[in-house]
A and B are shown apart, each in its own frame.
Chain A
Amino acid sequence: AQRVTQPEKLLSVFKGAPVELKCNYSYSGSPELFWYVQYSRQRLQLLLRHISRESIKGFTADLNKGETSFHLKKPFAQEEDSAMYYCALRGLGFNKFYFGSGTKLNVKP
């Protein structure tokens, strides 16, 4: 069965500290992985996808097929990074998405 696991419900770090939001997945085929971000009282928006291999707002994520992980990282957290982060998986071929339960990132001053 397809599943996306985000083990941390809440992650608190101080401004300037490195941050890593964990995401593990199980999928029988070749998935496509995404990170979505939801700032307070706003809609979810795409942060990055593994195919693009880009850095958005200083965040990066590498797909590790051996460990079936897609952790989101940023070397120096900023207060404006405080938000809810969702990891999502899309099965190859059509747009059925599976979301993790989300991790709330709190960056303290």
Chain B
Amino acid sequence: EAQVTQNPRYLITVTGKKLTVTCSQNMNHEYMSWYRQDPGLGLRQIYYSMNVEVTDKGDVPEGYKVSRKEKRNFPLILESPSPNQTSLYFCASSPWTGGDGYTFGSGTRLTVV
């Protein structure tokens, strides 16, 4: 089944403790992206990647890092999480051109206390 897999689904952590949210897709998509979803603000793009070793900032990159060492994986790294990063995070992938748009992961609900 074609899908985007995120882990974990839920995470509660403390301020300053580094964490990684994993994202993997099995569709050989070139383009991958991370979004955060907050009430009243909709979806905001954090980082995106157009292919292996090619990443760029989205609209709200502060406090986040990403890497794209393999085509299928696009982990989101929070080096020193803070409470304002409490949010629902979605990973998404799509082919470079054409296709039906994004395939989204099931989301990761992160709480930073």
Contacts and interface: CB of A to CB of B under 8 A. Distances in A.
B40 A43 contact: no
Given A94-B97, A95-B94, A95-B96, A101 B104 contact: no
B112 interface: no
Interface string B5-37: 000000000000000000000000001010100
Nearest to B31: A95
B43 A102 contact: yes
A44 B102 contact: yes
A94 to B, nearest CB: 6
Interface residues of A, number: 22
B101 A88 contact: yes
B43 A95 contact: no
A100 interface: yes
Contacts, number: 57
A86 B37 CA distance: 12
B106 A43 contact: yes
B42 A101 contact: yes
B75 interface: no
B70 interface: no
B104 A94 contact: no
A34 B107 CA distance: 20
B75 to A, nearest CB: 18
A45 interface: yes
A86 B106 CA distance: 16
Interface of A: 6, 9, 34, 36, 42-46, 49, 86, 88, 90, 93-97, 99-102
17 contacts: A6-B42, A43-B105, A43-B106, A46-B100, A49-B101, A86-B42, A86-B43, A93-B97, A94-B50, A94-B96, A95-B96, A95-B97, A95-B99, A97-B102, A99-B42, A99-B43, A99-B45
Q: Nearest 3 CB-CB pairs, A to B?
A: A101-B42, A102-B42, A99-B43
